[in-house]
Structure 1
Amino acid sequence: MDEAAGYTGVALELLKRAGAKPGDRIRITRSDGRVFEGILMPRYALSAKPIIVVKLDNGYNVGLRVDEKTVVEVVKTRETILKEAAAGAPAAIPLLEETPPEERRPRITILGTGGTIASKVEYETGAVRPAFSAEEILEAVPEVGFIADISARVVMNILSENMRPRLWEKIVDEVAKAIEEGADGVIVAHGTDTMAYTASALAFAFRKLPVPIAFVGAQRSSDRPSSDAAFNLIAATLVAAKAPFAEVVVVMHGETGDTYALAHRATRVRKMHTSRRDAFQTINGRPLAKIYPFERRIELIDEPLRSRGAEELEVANGFEEKVALVKYYPGMEPEIIDFLVDRGYRGIVLEGTGLGHVGEWLVESIRRAVEAGVTVVMTSQTLFGRVNMNVYTTGRKLLQAGVIPAEDMLPEVAFVKLSWILARTSDPGEARRLFAMNLAGEITSRHTVDLYPRWPH
């Protein structure tokens, strides 16, 4: 690495004068008298702006504007820090090691869909805007440059609540293109609100997959002190570059601090909190892996469905938009089912109560829907556990009416799966057969007691 990688102009001169290189702990005394201390980070994006990037002791990067009167001092060299760490001394800031030169650096493609990949702070104005180019990403989160060679492009720029099945198809195409171009892993930056839907869609669309696809987002924007954007992106980059599995996963904070992230299987994950950094949880299963970004370590928790490099890419793209996800509520009228049938909907996923029930007055409307060729699926609002429609009378009536039980699938996963299936077949019998198959880890055959969260943990 160049001694002052990415720096130019005044910033480069100051660093050369101090003999500072990335990884050194430096002290910057600005002309306004303010003093900052932290680890010098490289600027992978060449820029003439007089800014030096340091990682503060709280773990966040900050860009400091400098001028000719700024004083830069090396407090401790990188080599000394590493020697002390090897001897057991606690490090104020965990460091990422550069990929050894004899190793080929993984090639990672980041695709932006409108969620913030990383936010670029304009240090002159304090404004924050999304950073979509590879150069901006590396400048905002330089740690990812230690892990892989990054390329990035924008697929779309929408709020995640505006995601639609036809846009899932576009993302599938772009991910497939990146893999065909030689990417060792793909990151999809996505808004958190509907990220699990899109990730699930890709899990069904990629029938065979040679590399990981990691969805990532941020619960809190990077202009906030508690932002999770950089941490999540570093974790997702590690998964895309180094994970031994080839699956579609959602990579987000595993706890409220900056200790580890979790890789959740796409067909098992749900956003469970509006604002917590660890909002995403695996339901009816275990996360696939635990990621320690600053240790560059991935710890498998569950058995992968696919191993990296074991398969050739195979894509089955396409989703039927005439599928509805309907939450049952007390007093729900049959006209809702009738309306969907009359409007030409080909599939209905019901979020029933408990083991998979709705009011018995809906049974006849559901029967007419099935007789009209509509595929009707039953899930449970409880999320945890499994649908069992053989226990009570209403459940048995629904089975007799032709309703398909969704086992232990999340309602939104059942919705995505049915959308994918109905784009493949118009035969209700074939749709039923495919829905009963475990296609992407969406069905767990056996539940153990530890899969249900309890308090205290």
Structure 2
Amino acid sequence: MEKIPRILLVLTGGTIGSAVNDGCIDVDSRRSDDLLAIYNEQSNCQVEFEVVRPFNILSENAEPKHWLQIIETLQSHRLCDYDGVIIAHGSDTLPYTGAALSYGLDSPLIPIVLVAANYAIGQPNSNAIANFSAAVAFIINMKLPGFYTLYENSDHIIYVHLATRLQEADWLRDDFTSFGDPLGVFDHRGLCCVPSPKNPSMLKLYNPTPDCVPTIAEFRNEVLALRAYPGLNYEVINLHNRPIRAVLHSLYHCGSGNVTGENGTSLLSFIKNNPQVDHYLISYKNIQGDLYASCRELIAAGGIPLENISFEAAVTKLNFAYNQQEYAPLNYVKREFFYEFLRDAKENGYVI
């Protein structure tokens, strides 16, 4: 007799776990029953689901402590007893949780898939069931170890993203994109990969390197993130006598920031005036290549450049780096966990 697939379903709330009542969208614990009932009604695949609910919130209310709750929930189960894990999550903070799982869990030998929805179950144009069904099929048919997000965009294509490369959804169409390219698309043919020198090969993904990650006991709110824009007044940000250990500066696309501004608008002055804080700079592509003068000044002042990592993955990583005890924070940040850094490699981008 063929073994019935077994999937651990982790429910956390979000739109995929919400209902609409009198024009108000909010989490509703009964939605999980609807999710499984509709899936079982529409699918001819028999699956055994074990359901757990570590919390039930709209994901805009998620904090690092919620990452830890999901991580501890998964660690409390023998994941080798399951064919895969599905985490039903809100879309707002989905990229941050996806990255957090890769930093907080030892390298898995099964697929761990995050799904979300654009509208609540039962609403017109909701992609909740499509995303959930695709995640089930992906786990059963692909058996691809690692951390992934499956999501149907407004073009009705279901994209497969490496969870560490997912970026926030756009405000207009609620579509998700990957930092770089998605891993591929998923349909009746299975996973159709996007050939890209920056994507890991399927051979790499199917043969993960055993990896133990540092333990996090709790998250202290000691990381600040700032996005550059013209006129940002750094003088209103007082880091002295505040429990901030690191600042992530999301700069302009070429890694540049204001170094000449007056009336508090100089990032260069902000870094020099706050030497007690580690300043990380992102949006760099190649710090060994030609850099703008402003980039060189920021680095010379103590800014730490990070290459080829998204804002979402970087700020999440800093939260882990400054709350673990096994590595110096900078060494932790530079360590790769699950392809969060885009790197060109000759063996990348090939499909099996």
Which ranges of structure 1 fall in alignment gaps of 5 or more residues?
Answer: 1-101, 122-127, 452-457
For residues 135-192 of structure 1, give each alpha carbon's deviation from its aligned partner in whole angstroms, at most 9, with x where no partner exists: 5433122145715211212221111110000111001111222444722211111110
Asked if residue 202 in structure 1 is aligned to residue 127 in structure 2, the reply is no
Q: 345-354 vs 136-145, which deviates more? A: 136-145
1:247 is displaced (CA, Å) by 1.3
Residue 365 of structure 1, aligned match among 248, 270, 275: 270
Q: Counterpart amino acid of 1:443?
A: F
1:282 is displaced (CA, Å) by 1.2
Residue 288 of structure 1 aligns with which residue? 183
Residue 240 of structure 1 aligns with which residue? 139
Contact (CA 8 Å) 1:387, 1:405: kept in 2 or not? no
For the residues of structure 2 that align with 1:324 and 1:439, how far apart are their CA atoms? 22
Q: Counterpart amino acid of 2:191?
A: I
Contact (CA 8 Å) 1:117, 1:131: kept in 2 or not? no
Q: Counterpart amino acid of 2:167?
A: R
For the residues of structure 1 that align with 2:336 and 2:240, how far apart are their CA atoms? 27
TM-score of the pair, normalised by structure 1? 0.64
Contact (CA 8 Å) 1:209, 1:246: kept in 2 or not? yes
Which ranges of structure 2 fall in alignment gaps of 5 or more residues?
Answer: 21-26, 260-265
Higher RCO (CA < 8 A, seq sep 6+): 2
Asked if residue 327 in structure 1 is aligned to residue 241 in structure 2, the reply is no
Residue 264 of structure 1 aligns with which residue? 161
1:434 is displaced (CA, Å) by 2.8
- Indicate the structure (1 or 2) with the bigger Cα radius of gyration: 1
Residue 49 of structure 2, aligned match among 144, 150, 158: 150
Please list, as runs of the form range in 1=range in 2, the aligned pairs for 1:77-96 lying within 5 A after superposition: none
Residue 224 of structure 1, aligned match among 112, 118, 123: 123
Contact (CA 8 Å) 1:147, 1:241: kept in 2 or not? no
Q: Counterpart amino acid of 2:282?
A: T
For residues 17-41 of structure 1, give each alpha carbon's deviation from its aligned partner in whole angstroms, at most 9, with x where no partner exists: xxxxxxxxxxxxxxxxxxxxxxxxx
For the residues of structure 2 that align with 1:300 and 1:178, how far apart are their CA atoms? 31
Residue 399 of structure 1 aligns with which residue? 299
Contact (CA 8 Å) 1:232, 1:253: kept in 2 or not? yes
Asked if residue 299 in structure 1 is aligned to residue 192 in structure 2, the reply is yes
1:221 is displaced (CA, Å) by 2.0
Asked if residue 415 in structure 1 is aligned to residue 315 in structure 2, the reply is yes
Residue 192 of structure 1 aligns with which residue? 91
1:228 is displaced (CA, Å) by 0.7
Contact (CA 8 Å) 2:31, 2:121: kept in 1 or not? no
Identity %: 26
TM-score of the pair, normalised by structure 2? 0.81
Q: Counterpart amino acid of 2:271?
A: I
Contact (CA 8 Å) 1:179, 1:186: kept in 2 or not? no
1:239 is displaced (CA, Å) by 2.2
Coordinate RMSD, CA, aligned = 3.1
Contact (CA 8 Å) 1:118, 1:233: kept in 2 or not? no
Matched position secondary structure for 2:3: coil
Contact (CA 8 Å) 2:19, 2:120: kept in 1 or not? no
1:195 is displaced (CA, Å) by 0.6
Contact (CA 8 Å) 1:144, 1:237: kept in 2 or not? no
For the residues of structure 2 that align with 1:297 and 1:235, how far apart are their CA atoms? 10
Q: Counterpart amino acid of 1:280?
A: F
Q: How many aligned residue pairs are there?
A: 326
**Given the superposition, is the C-alpha separation of residues 235 and 251 from structure 1 closer, same or farther in structure 2, using an over 3 Å criterion?**
same
Residue 22 of structure 1 aligns with which residue? none
Residue 333 of structure 2 aligns with which residue? 435
**Given the superposition, is the C-alpha separation of residues 410 and 332 from structure 1 closer, same or farther in structure 2, using an over 3 Å criterion?**
same
Matched position secondary structure for 1:281: coil
For the residues of structure 2 that align with 1:119 and 1:181, how far apart are their CA atoms? 30
For residues 293-336 of structure 1, give each alpha carbon's deviation from its aligned partner in whole angstroms, at most 9, with x where no partner exists: xx37333445245427x666845443443111111222223324
1:201 is displaced (CA, Å) by 0.7
**Given the superposition, is the C-alpha separation of residues 179 and 402 from structure 1 closer, same or farther in structure 2, using an over 3 Å criterion?**
farther
For the residues of structure 2 that align with 1:132 and 1:187, how far apart are their CA atoms? 15
Residue 378 of structure 1, aligned match among 270, 281, 296: 281
Contact (CA 8 Å) 2:10, 2:51: kept in 1 or not? yes
Residue 262 of structure 2 aligns with which residue? none
For the residues of structure 1 that align with 2:76 and 2:206, how far apart are their CA atoms? 20
